Amino acid sequence: CLQKDYHFEYTECDSSGSRWRVAIPNSAVDCSGLPDPVRGKECTFSCASGEYLEMKNQVCSKCGEGTYSLGSGIKFDEWDELPAGFSNVATFMDTVVGPSDSRPDGCNNSSWIPRGNYIESNRDDCTVSLIYAVHLKKSGYVFFEYQYVDNNIFFEFFIQNDQCQEMDTTTDKWVKLTDNGEWGSHSVMLKSGTNILYWRTTGILMGSKAVKPVLVKNITIEGVAYTSECFPCKPGTFSNKPGSFNCQVCPRNTYSEKGARECIRCKEDSHFSEEGSSECMERPPCTTKDYFQIHTPCDEGKTQIMYKWIEPKICREDLTDAIRLPPSGEKKDCPPCNPGFYNNGSSSCRPCPPGTFSDGTKECRPCPAGTEPALGFEYKWWNVLPGNMKTSCFNVGNSKCDGMNGWEVAGDHIQSGAGGSDNDYLILNLHIPGFKPPMSVTGATGSELGRITFVFETLCSADCVLYFMVDINRKSTNVVESWGGTKEKQAYTHIIFKNATFTFTWAFQRTNQGQDNRRFINDMVKMYSITATNAVDGVASSCRACALGSEQSGSSCVPCPPGHYIEKETNQCKECPPDTYLSIHQVYGKEACIPCGPGSKSTQDHSVCYSDCFFYHEKENQSLHYDFSNLSSVGSFMNGPSFTSKGTKYFHFFNISLCGHEGKKMALCTNNITDFTIKEVAAGSDDYTNLVGAFVCQSTIIPSESKGFRAALSSQSIILADTFLGVTVETTLQNINIKEDMFPVSPSQIPDVHFFYKSSTTTTSCINGRSTAVKMRCNPTKPGAGVISVPSKCPAGTCDGCAFYFLWESAEACPLCTEHDFHEIEGACKRGFQETLYVWNEPKWCIKGISLPEKKLSTCETVDFWLKVGAGVGAFTAVLLVALTCYFWKKNQKLEYKYSKLVMTANSKECELPAADSCAIMEGEDNEEEVVYSNKQSLLGKLKSLATKEKEDHFESVQLKSSRSPNI
CATH architecture of residue range(s) 73-95+107-224:
Sandwich (2.60)
CA neighbor of 456 nearest in space, from 566, 531, 397: 531
Flag whether pLDDT at 113 surpasses 50.
yes
Tell me what pLDDT residue 603 has: 81
- What would the mean pLDDT of 487-507 be, rounded to a whole number? 87
Answer whether 73-95+107-224 and 335-542 agree in fold: yes
Closest to 219 in 3D by CA, of 247, 196, 187, 243: 187
- Return the SS3 of 881: helix
Question: Contact at 8 Å (CB) between 850 and 818?
Answer: yes
Residue 934 predicted with pLDDT over 90 = no
The DSSP symbol for 177 reads P
- Across 382-391, average pLDDT: 86
Q: Where are the alpha helices (DSSP H) in 120-199?
A: none
Place 920 in a pLDDT band, splitting at 50, 70 and 90: very low
Provide the angle, in degrees to the nearest 10, between the axes of the packed helices 863-908 and 939-951.
100
Q: Give the Cα separation of 374 and 539 in Å (integer).
A: 8
Per-residue pLDDT for 508 more than 80?
yes
The answer for residues whose C-beta is within 8 angstroms of residue 551's C-beta and 6 or more apart is: none
Q: Would you place residue 144 in the very low, low, confident or very high pLDDT band (cuts 50, 70, 90)?
A: very high
Confidence at 318, pLDDT banded by 50, 70, 90 = confident
pLDDT surpassing 70 at residue 705: no
Residue 142 pairs in a beta bridge with: 188, 221
- The pLDDT of 58-71, averaged and rounded, is 87
Max avg pLDDT among 452-456, 701-705, 918-922, 961-965: 452-456
The pLDDT of residue 675 = 33
Whether residue 746 is predicted with pLDDT greater than 50 in this model: the reply is: yes
CB-based contacts of 250: which residues, under 8 Å, 6+ apart?
Answer: 236, 237, 238, 256, 260, 263, 273, 275, 276, 277
Any idea which of 165-174, 394-403, 671-680, 728-737 has the lowest mean pLDDT? Answer: 671-680
Q: How many CB atoms lie within 10 A of CB 268?
A: 10
For residues 806-834, average pLDDT: 82
Query: Where is pLDDT greater, at 388 or 692?
Result: 388
Q: Of 260-264, 466-470, 790-794, 852-856, where does the model show the most confidence?
A: 260-264
pLDDT digits (tens, 9 = 90+) for 619-640: 777 788 888 888 877 777 787 7
Q: In terms of DSSP H, where are the helices of 374-462?
A: none
Residue 256 has pLDDT above 90, yes or no: yes
| pLDDT of 238 strictly over 90 | yes
pLDDT of residue 692: 56
Residue 696 has pLDDT above 80, yes or no: yes
Lowest mean pLDDT among 400-414, 529-543, 596-610, 633-647: 633-647
Chain mean pLDDT for the chain: 77
Task: Please tell me the class of the 624-672+691-814 domain.
Answer: mainly beta
Q: Give pLDDT, residue 720.
A: 83
Check residues 713 and 578 and name the one with the higher pLDDT: 578
User: How many Å apart are CA 217 and CA 148, to the nearest integer?
Assistant: 12
Dihedral angle at the C-alpha atoms of 910, 916, 922, 923, nearest 10 degrees? -170
More confident residue, 918 or 675: 918
Phi-psi group of 771: left, alpha or beta (phi > 0 → left; psi -120 to 50 → alpha; rest → beta): beta
Answer whether residue 537 shows pLDDT above 90. no
pLDDT-derived band at 938, boundaries 50, 70, 90? low
Greatest mean pLDDT among 486-495, 760-769, 855-864 lies in 486-495
Question: Which of the two residues, 706 and 729, has the higher pLDDT score?
Answer: 729
Report the pLDDT value the prediction gives residue 94, as an integer from 0 to 100.
Answer: 47
pLDDT score for 266: 92
First to last CA, the chain: 200
Quick one: DSSP state of residue 116? B
Query: Where does the pLDDT of residue 935 fall: very low under 50, low under 70, confident under 90, or very high at 90 and above?
Result: very low
Return the SS3 of 31. coil
Q: d(Cα 518, Cα 420) in Å, to the nearest integer?
A: 7
Pairing mode, strands 771-778 and 803-810: parallel
DSSP 324: P
Annotation: CATH topology of 335-542: Jelly Rolls (2.60.120)
Helix (H, G, I), strand (E, B) or coil at 188: strand
Instruction: Among 19-28, 304-313, 399-408, 652-661, name the one with the lowest average pLDDT.
Output: 399-408
Report domain extents, the chain.
73-95+107-224, 335-542, 624-672+691-814, 822-859
Mean pLDDT of 711-729: 78
Kindly state the average pLDDT of the residues 230-246: 89
How far are the Cα atoms of 613, 725, 814 from residue 663, in angstroms, in the given order? 11, 11, 23
Q: What is the pLDDT of residue 926?
A: 46
Question: Which residues pair with residue 668 across a beta bridge?
Answer: 693
Mean pLDDT of 200-207: 70
Q: How do residues 351-370 score in pLDDT, each as one tens digit?
A: 888 888 888 888 888 888 77
The predicted model gives 564-591 an average pLDDT of 80
Q: How far apart are CA 848 and CA 844, in angstroms?
A: 11
HSE-CB at 866 with a 13 A cutoff on CA atoms is: 6
Nearest to 715 by CA among 215, 187, 211, 216: 211
- Residue 699: CB atoms within 10 A of its CB come to 22
Q: Please say if the pLDDT value at position 100 is more than 60.
A: no
Least confident of 145-149, 178-182, 188-192, 566-570: 178-182
Q: What is the pLDDT of residue 709?
A: 55
Strand partners, 833: 830, 859
For 16, half-sphere exposure in the C-beta direction (CA atoms, 13 angstrom radius) is 6
Residue 913's alpha-carbon distances to 905, 921, 926, 964, in angstroms, are: 10, 16, 21, 10
Summarize the confidence of residues 521-540 as an average pLDDT: 89
> Which secondary structure element, helix H or strand E, spans residue 219, and what is its range?
strand 215-224
Can you give the pLDDT at residue 678?
34
